[in-house]
């Protein structure tokens, strides 16, 4: 068994779709990376460092083959949209 086969085994063990198991395992890895940071900052983490850690977790799961590439693209698009909204609020004062 290799690391790239873990989502397949997880999908067959739980009886779910392989894409769903990839997403669940990716979220689990991202949570494992974020949890110590959130605990150490006592519940007041910086959003920028949290985003960096989420990108690191998603990159790790993408490198392991656990995450489909389109999830990373969607996350990047949502992050860019969020930064654009914050920038628009900063410029317009609203």
What are the boundaries of each domain within the chain?
A: 3-68
How far does Cα 52 stand from its chain's mean position? 10
Question: Which has more pLDDT, 1 or 66?
Answer: 66
pTM for this predicted structure: 0.77
pLDDT, tens digit, for every residue of 29-56?
A: 999 999 999 899 987 888 888 888 999 9
Q: How confident is the model at residue 16 (pLDDT cuts 50, 70, 90)?
A: very high
- pLDDT, residue 44, reads 85
Residue 65 CB burial class (10 angstroms; 0-12, 13-18, ≥19): middle
Mean pLDDT of the chain: 88
- pLDDT, residue 36, reads 92
């Amino acid at each position: 068994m290799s690391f790239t086969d873990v989502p397949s085994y997880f999908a067959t063990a739980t009886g779910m779709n392989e894409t769903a198991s990839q997403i669940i395992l990716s979220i689990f890895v991202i949570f494992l990376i974020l949890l110590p940071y959130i605990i150490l900052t006592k519940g007041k983490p910086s959003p920028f460092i949290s985003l960096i850690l989420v990108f690191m977790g998603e990159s790790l799961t993408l490198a392991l083959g656990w995450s489909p590439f389109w999830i990373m693209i969607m996350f990047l698009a949502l992050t860019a949209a969020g930064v654009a909204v914050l920038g628009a609020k900063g410029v317009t004062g609203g």
